[in-house]
Amino acid sequence: MTQPGTTSRLKYLTPALYILFLLTPIYWLLTMSLKTNQEILSTFSLWPVNPTFENYMVIFTDAAWYSGYINSMIYVSMNTVISVLAALPAAYAFSRYRFLGDKHIFFWLLTNRMAPPAVFALPFFQLYSSVGLFDTHIAVALAHCLFNIPLAIWILEGFMSGVPREIDETAYIDGYSFPRFFTKIFLPLIASGVGVAAFFCFMFSWVELLIARTLTSVAAKPIAAVMTRTVSASGLDWGVLAAAGVLTIIPGALVIWFVRHHIARGFALGRV
């Protein structure tokens, strides 16, 4: 189908140009993070003339900055654990059994994944304030369950439906109890699915700003909110802001290799 020689080489021009388009703004962010604020504002250069790690040092030494990362990490990890643990048995139920209202519940879960966070910001604020959880990590972790549990259930259900039912039946005939079958036989079979679900819960909780910002003020303030408040304050330190941005990209960039074949599947809720 593809002709040899120039045509096929020209063909790769499109993806190459696209990747260039994707990487240029990221390169610019990286460049900025290695410049001092004076250099950013006074001269215009395509690469840092005097590369410096000063901006990163500010973040690693100033509690207002690095506590933002710690706070985000805490509630994101809590949310990932809660979401995956709650979603595992639920996804098994949806993939293996028919029960009262199963289709309606499955649809209702989806609507929560699709719901605009803006709708929930104010009621969340009131709900978590009234139960005394405002400005705690667990409040954000629970609030993010709104979209992450449905996401995890849909992804896991997609993976579980790919495992033949005969495996379950054979195990039960061999005398396995449900918990033993689930942990000893079934979980290893869908290990990659659990990894993908955990990855996406982590990611969607990590990238969310509106709810996390609404539910916190000081003690659990996420890095995203620290960044936006620096923007609104007058002392715009672009270098530090860029360095903070680079550091938030790292978690995703580190694990992206392991999930590269599953990214489409995760975004499409396990259905591609």
Partner 1 sequence: MRKTLNHKALWLASPALLLVAFTALIPLLTVVNYSVQDTFGDNKFFWVGAEWYKEILLSERFHAAFFRQVAFSAAILAIEIPLGLAIALAMPKKGWGVSVCLVLMALPLLIPWNVVGTIWQIFARVDIGLLGHTLAGFGFDYNYTQDPVAAWITLIVMDVWHWTSLVVLLCYAGLVAIPQAYYQAARIDGASRWAVFRHIELPKLNRVLLIAVLLRFMDSFMIYTEPFVVTGGGPGNTTTFLSVDLVQMAIGQFDLGPAAAMSVVYFLIILGLSWLFYTVMTREDTDAEGRLP
Stretch that binds partner 1, among 47-55, 58-66, 189-197, 220-228 (CB under 8 A): 220-228
Helix segments in 161-220, DSSP class H:
165-173, 178-181, 187-189, 191-207, 210-214
> Does 105 sit near partner 1 (CB under 8 A)?
yes
Within positions 135 to 194, which residues make up the interface with partner 1, using CB under 8 A?
142-143, 145-146, 149-150, 153, 161-162, 165
Within positions 199 to 218, which residues make up the interface with partner 1, using CB under 8 A?
203, 206-210, 214
Helix (H, G, I), strand (E, B) or coil at 107: helix
* DSSP classification of residue 2: P
Q: Residue 68: which of 202, 199, 201, 206 has the closest Cα?
A: 206
> Does 115 sit near partner 1 (CB under 8 A)?
yes
Closest CB to partner 1 among residues 87, 220: 87
Residue identified by tokens 């591609």 is: 272
As measured in angstroms, the least distance from the Cβ of 174 to partner 1 is 18
Pick from 46, 63, 218, 233 the residue near partner 1 by CB under 8 A. 46
Calculate the alpha carbon distances from 180 to 172, 174, 177, 187 in Å: 10, 12, 5, 10
Stretch that binds partner 1, among 49-57, 63-71, 185-193, 253-261 (CB under 8 A): 253-261
* DSSP classification of residue 220: T
For partner 1 (CB under 8 A), the number of binding residues is: 100
Helix (H, G, I), strand (E, B) or coil at 182: helix
> Does 14 sit near partner 1 (CB under 8 A)?
yes
